[in-house]
Amino acid sequence: MLDPLEELSNELFVSIVTPLEMQLKVGVGKLALGRSVRSVVETQLARSSMALLPITLDHIDALSRLPDHHRDPV
């Protein structure tokens, strides 16, 4: 059985939060890329079959129903 990431019939998505988090890390010096986050993400999306998954208001609303272990660490 193939790994789900290797199964060609599966759709692969990257949350739009990923580049946002990357940019925050670049901004505080915890991630060095040598080029813009936008450039890195666009290049990787073009090289793969992944697509950006947007955040909708439904996603935001669902945050109120997550268990407490999804809170930011103290």
Give the pLDDT of residue 70: 59
Q: Is 73 a domain residue?
A: no
Strand runs labelled E in 1-74: 12-15, 50-53
Q: Is 22 a domain residue?
A: yes
Tokens of 10: 């599966």
Count of the separate structural domains present in the chain: 1
Q: Is 44 a domain residue?
A: yes
Q: Is 18 a domain residue?
A: yes
The values of phi and psi at residue 20, to 5°, are: -60, -50
Of all helices (H) and strands (E), which one includes residue 17? helix 17-27
36: left (phi over 0), alpha (psi -120 to 50) or beta: beta
Give the pLDDT of residue 74: 57
Q: Is 74 a domain residue?
A: no
> pLDDT per residue over 8-64, tens digit each?
788 889 999 999 999 999 999 999 999 999 999 999 999 988 999 999 999 999 988
Q: Is 47 a domain residue?
A: yes
Q: Is 31 a domain residue?
A: yes
Contact criterion met (CB below 8 Å) for 31 and 22? yes
What is the domain range of residue 48? 12-67
Q: Is 6 a domain residue?
A: no
